[in-house]
Amino acid sequence: MIKWPHLLLIVLLLAGCKKVFNPPGALSDTNKYLVIDGIINTGNDSTFIRLSRTKKFDTVIVIDKEIGAQVTVESDANNSYPLLEINPGTYSAAPLTLDNSHKYRLRIKTTDGKEYLSDFVQVKNAPPIDSVGFVAKPSMVQIYVNTHDPTNNTKYYRWEYSEAWRFHATYQSFWIGASRRDSSQFIYYCYSKDTSSYITLSSSAQLAQDVIYQAPITTIPSSSEKIEIRYSIFVKQYALTSDAYNFWNNLHKNGESNGTIFDAQPSDNQTNYHCVTNPGEIVIGYLSVGSTTTKRIFINRDQFPASYNPAYSRACSIDTAYEDKGEYTIFNNSFVTAINGVFFSPPLAFGEPNAVTYSSSDCADCTTRGVKAPPPFWK
């Protein structure tokens, strides 16, 4: 049975909790458990498996990527499909288009000579997502998903999502130091992105029909810059076995309770992975096999209540820099950005400014937290 401090660390690593808690007696560097994240995709999408090791570094929990491993998909018909390491700790295979009538497992050999093997897992293909929508509440936007399986065979669902949004800086910069920007150099509008960091699940097992209605996916505060211009969310849907659902639900309960750390009760490590070379070693993760379904939506600012007031988390103000011996030394660092030129009387319309207004780069340069080019899918 996995101990409570160990389980809490596992939750922080897999569920992506943003509040780090370091319990007494937490893992030392000698307990670097293998973390396996990803599914075997049997459809037309690539398979991605991410390997890492748990590690405690001072008071901040970090993850070591497991590099140089041999990762292979195996079928119960004795076929095998190798994965290549495309990035440190990330292993991938092009679309495998596997036979849904067979079961599959994952075999991993690490550079320290250990071998890990999952159980054979049946294929569970996700049904289509019916719709992704939202409800505008007084203080936030609730994003939800609707789906169903007319064959009543899915019942257990998990979702991940990625977000993208267009936003603007607090102030528009028309100058670079004491020179005017041309239109290609404007840094007022940008795009940013984020990915899901919490476990999102739902089940219709207790219902007469396999229907999921308005399952919550995420919330966006009414003051978030994500919704100040245009927002998009891309939702990926997974079908789970009951055992896989129990695994993820266990992590969800222990890692995302709204109460105290004592509310969630410790439980068994319900993994379907095993260390072949050391059967007593803890392995973290749960393998699922099947194809996923996806849906993207776009939402414009005018679809939200007029009372919504996207605000910045930073205090922004404007100051003035004056020329000193022919230069503005304040612009020799990247912490401030010029906004506009100031011309004292008599006007010097075609000359150099006598002073330049400026603000912090966080307030006048959108590229400090985004990029100017829209994502390929943007429309």
Q: Please tell me the pTM assigned to this model.
A: 0.84
- DSSP state letters, 262-325: TSSPP-----SEEESS-TTS-EE----BS--EEEEEEEEGGGS-TT-----SS----EEEE-BT
Of 162, 332, 141, the residue nearest 220 (C-alpha): 141
Q: Phi and psi at residue 250, in whole multiples of 5°?
A: -60, -45
Percent of the chain with pLDDT over 70: 83
pLDDT for 62 beyond 80: no
Token pair, residue 230, equals 């245009």
14-61 tens-digit pLDDT? 444 444 434 333 444 456 889 999 999 999 999 999 999 976 655 455
Q: What's the rounded Cα separation, in Å, for the pair 61 and 236?
A: 28
Mean pLDDT along residues 186-207: 95
198-212 tens-digit pLDDT? 889 999 999 999 999
Q: What's the rounded Cα separation, in Å, for the pair 30 and 200?
A: 32
96-153 tens-digit pLDDT? 999 999 999 999 999 999 999 999 999 999 999 999 999 999 999 999 999 999 999 9
What H or E segment, with its residue span, contains residue 147?
strand 140-148
Q: What's the rounded Cα separation, in Å, for the pair 305 and 241?
A: 40
Q: What share of the chain is helix, strand, coil (3-state, %, to 5)?
A: 10, 40, 50
- What pLDDT, on a 0 to 100 scale, did the predictor assign at position 15? 44
Q: Are 124 and 115 in contact (CB under 8 A)?
A: no
Residue-wise burial string across 142-159, b where 16 or more C-beta atoms lie within 10 A, e elsewhere: ebbbebbbeeeebbbbbb
- What pLDDT, on a 0 to 100 scale, did the predictor assign at position 3? 43
Mean pLDDT along residues 176-183: 90
Mean pLDDT along residues 170-174: 95
324-377 tens-digit pLDDT? 766 788 888 889 999 998 887 665 555 678 899 999 999 999 999 999 999 999
- Which residues share a beta bridge with 257? none
Q: What is the dihedral of CA 252, 258, 262, 267, to 10 degrees?
A: -10
- DSSP state letters, 201-238: EEE-TTSSS-EEEEEEEEEEETT-GGGSSEEEEEEEEE
Token pair, residue 156, equals 């257990």
- What pLDDT, on a 0 to 100 scale, did the predictor assign at position 9? 46
- More reliable by pLDDT, 276 or 258: 276
Taking the CA atoms of 108, 114, 118 and 119 in sequence, report the sign of the dihedral they define.
Answer: positive
Token pair, residue 40, equals 């075997």
Of 133, 80, 132, 85, the residue nearest 105 (C-alpha): 80
pLDDT for 300 beyond 70: yes
Q: Are 159 and 145 in contact (CB under 8 A)?
A: yes
Mean pLDDT along residues 229-256: 91
Taking the CA atoms of 335, 339, 342 and 348 in sequence, report the sign of the dihedral they define.
Answer: positive
Cβ atoms within 10 Å of 342's Cβ, excluding its own: 13
- What pLDDT, on a 0 to 100 scale, did the predictor assign at position 276? 96
Token pair, residue 333, equals 């660092």
Q: What sections of the chain are H helices per DSSP?
A: 4-14, 242-255, 361-364
- What's the whole-number average pLDDT of the chain? 86
pLDDT for 233 beyond 60: yes
Of 73, 16, 19, 10, the residue nearest 260 (C-alpha): 19
319-335 tens-digit pLDDT? 999 887 667 888 888 89
- What pLDDT, on a 0 to 100 scale, did the predictor assign at position 193? 97
Mean pLDDT along residues 170-195: 94
- What pLDDT, on a 0 to 100 scale, did the predictor assign at position 262? 30
- What pLDDT, on a 0 to 100 scale, did the predictor assign at position 56? 60
With bands split at pLDDT 50, 70 and 90, how would you rate the model's confidence at 269?
low
Of 375, 373, 360, the residue nearest 313 (C-alpha): 360
- What pLDDT, on a 0 to 100 scale, did the predictor assign at position 2? 42
pLDDT for 89 beyond 90: yes
Q: Are 40 and 106 in contact (CB under 8 A)?
A: yes
State the amino acid at position 167 in one-letter form.
F
Mean pLDDT along residues 59-66: 70
- What pLDDT, on a 0 to 100 scale, did the predictor assign at position 22? 41
- More reliable by pLDDT, 7 or 338: 338
Q: What sections of 1-123 are H helices per DSSP?
A: 4-14
